[in-house]
Amino acid sequence: MLKEKEMSKKMNKKMNKIVIILLCIIIGLLINVSFSSAKLDINQTILSITKTINIDEFVVFSITNTEAFAFYNVTIEGNAFMTMPKIDQLNSGSVAVVTATVTSNVAANSQLRIRGLFNTSIGHIPTIYYVNITTSHTVNPCDKSIIKGDTITWNNLINDNIQMILNGAVETTFAPSGTYGKTFTSPGTYNYYFSQYGFQFPSYNCHIYVLDDNGYVNDPMLDAVFNLSVAVNYPPTALMSNILQTNYIMDFFNTQDGVMSVTNTGNQTAQNIQLSGDWFSFSDNGFTLNPGQTKGVIYTIIPIIINTTQTNNTYLKNISISGNFPTVKNELSIFINYAAIGTNDSYNDAENLLDIICAKYPPLCNKTAQIVYRYVGNTSAQAQLNISEEQWNNLWFLMFDEMDARKTMYNYIKEQDSANGINTNLTNDRIANITGTIMKQQENQESATIGVYVLLIMLFSAFIGGITYFLIKYHKKQGLETELHKW
């Protein structure tokens, strides 16, 4: 029985440990979820409203809390177009149906956001997040929400030096493949971008949203974002126009000015009066007239005639006036004299031709020039060119790609030179070794040759000595035999 109780206690302790670990994991997940994909969600990302001036309109939509925690004081961010009642608390998974009021008396097309607060007092463990600066000059991710005490490490994947501009000041300079880490110790919004040879990328600011680690906070990345489009109808009125001359006879490529008057004959203000018409341009447009007010407008007739068959003809053209009143139309008769289009005399006025083209295709001419180059030595000489931001960025990217390619080739050449240098050194060492071996062999050969010579001399000396000894012994023997014969 005692053993069973002990076993039971051990099992309970293990189960308690497992439960505690699971609770820690769940709490960690709950903390991390607030900075992942869930957020406040609105069921309509585009709200289009048509309203009458000074009369409010109402729009109904729903907001869902897809987070794992509750939002408090949910309301629309301050703006001049729409209001909504505050939601004191929106629990996880709950849906709130909202009736918002559109109060704008002017046309609008704006991005709005619905925000809420949530509690971060459950605690937080400092975390490191990574942001990549890609070779295509993008920042991934560009916007990031973190909690006070967290660190962000940026990785430069571009094969070049770049600068990081944080809140308007240079924060650091990255070397190629370099990294930079920053720990954010104060709540707030930090705006930044990068610079390469003075070129900013991305063209907009990235954001780091640093939230407090205690109390109720708002995370902009969890807000519900939508677009509000408001078209305003004004109280109807009446308008009258008067044109002094309605019949014109014109030469090919000529222009003609005329005068007309516009009068508000109703009892409401005429808003955003628009004049339009084929072959016409106007000295003023989009103006407002109070009841009883009259305005004079100069119009210019610019015929669009491009071949001979279109001349020697009469054209009926209308000037239309539209707004918060029934559309008013005025018909003009325009006769174009005969012209043999194609002869040199027909194109003697290039300025008129340019005016005609600009009138027909305004986007070609109505552009604000951007100074993309100026010679400092002569400030009066300016090269001006109209290009889009995308085209401008692409020119920089093309230049950066070319520079990267050159650096890659330069590094390759350096590596090859280094490898060739190493091979040359190895070859020189081998040659030196071979030369030393040959010299050693020559020295050994010379020593061996001297030894042979000495040996030969010694052998020759021994041979000569032997012969001499033999001859002496022979002569002595012969002498003794001679003496014996005498005896």
* CATH number of the domain where residue 179 is located: 2.60.40.420
Residue 438: per-residue pLDDT: 66
**pLDDT tens digits for 1-11?**
545 555 555 55
Q: Kindly state whether residue 250 falls inside one of the protein's structural domains.
A: yes
Residue 386: per-residue pLDDT: 54
Residue 477: per-residue pLDDT: 63
What's the token pair of residue 358? 């600009």
For residues 104 and 152, state if they share a domain. no
- Cβ(239)–Cβ(176) below 8 Å: no
CATH code, domain carrying 298: 2.60.40.10
What number is the average pLDDT over the span 28-47?
64
Q: Tell me which of 440 and 55 has the higher pLDDT.
A: 55
Q: How far apart are CA 122 and CA 136, in angstroms?
A: 40
Q: Kindly state whether residue 379 falls inside one of the protein's structural domains.
A: no
Residue 61: per-residue pLDDT: 94
Residues contacting residue 73 through CB under 8 Å, at least 6 positions apart: 86, 87, 88, 116, 117
Q: Kindly state whether residue 438 falls inside one of the protein's structural domains.
A: no
Could you tell me which of 253, 256, 251 has the C-alpha nearest to residue 347? 253
Q: Kindly state whether residue 394 falls inside one of the protein's structural domains.
A: no
When pLDDT is cut at 50, 70 and 90, the band that residue 360 belongs to is low
CATH code, domain carrying 59: 2.60.40
Q: Tell me which of 337 and 439 has the higher pLDDT.
A: 337
Q: Is the pLDDT of residue 447 over 70?
A: no
For residues 106 and 137, state if they share a domain. no
For residues 286 and 173, state if they share a domain. no
For residues 283 and 208, state if they share a domain. no
- Cβ(294)–Cβ(272) below 8 Å: no
C-alpha torsion sign, points 334, 337, 340, 341: negative
Q: Kindly state whether residue 477 falls inside one of the protein's structural domains.
A: no
For residues 110 and 169, state if they share a domain. no
**pLDDT tens digits for 281-313?**
999 999 999 999 999 999 999 998 888 999 999
From 11-15, 25-29, 114-118, 345-349, the region with the lowest mean pLDDT: 25-29
- Domain final residue, candidates 364, 387, 409: 364
* Triad 320, 324, 328: Cα angle to 5°: 25
Name the one residue in this structure whose structure tokens are 């990785």. 155
Judged by DSSP in three states, 266 sits in coil
CB atoms within 10 A of CB 144: 19
When pLDDT is cut at 50, 70 and 90, the band that residue 237 belongs to is very high
For residues 160 and 267, state if they share a domain. no
Where does residue 243 rank: exposed (0-12), middle (13-18), buried (19+ CB within 10 A)? middle
- Cβ(145)–Cβ(221) below 8 Å: yes
For residues 306 and 257, state if they share a domain. yes
For residues 188 and 251, state if they share a domain. no
Instruction: Please give the distance of CA 89 from its chain centroid, rounded to a whole number.
Output: 38
Q: Which domain holds residue 152?
A: 128-213
Q: Kindly state whether residue 355 falls inside one of the protein's structural domains.
A: yes
Q: How far apart are CA 202 and CA 138, in angstroms?
A: 6
* Triad 65, 66, 67: Cα angle to 5°: 95
For residues 353 and 244, state if they share a domain. yes
- Domain final residue, candidates 119, 136, 155: 119
- Domain final residue, candidates 60, 85, 119: 119
Residues contacting residue 82 through CB under 8 Å, at least 6 positions apart: 59, 76, 100, 101, 102, 103, 104, 112, 228
CB atoms within 10 A of CB 179: 12
Q: How, if at all, do strands 139-140 and 325-336 pair?
A: unpaired
Residue 25: per-residue pLDDT: 40
Q: How far apart are CA 127 and CA 355, in angstroms?
A: 63
Q: How far apart are CA 146 and CA 28, in angstroms?
A: 14
Where does residue 170 rank: exposed (0-12), middle (13-18), buried (19+ CB within 10 A)? exposed
When pLDDT is cut at 50, 70 and 90, the band that residue 120 belongs to is confident
Domain count, the chain: 4
For residues 26 and 50, state if they share a domain. no
Distances (CA, A) of 161 to 140, 183, 194, 197: 18, 22, 10, 9
For residues 88 and 145, state if they share a domain. no
Could you tell me which of 62, 95, 100, 60 has the C-alpha nearest to residue 81? 100
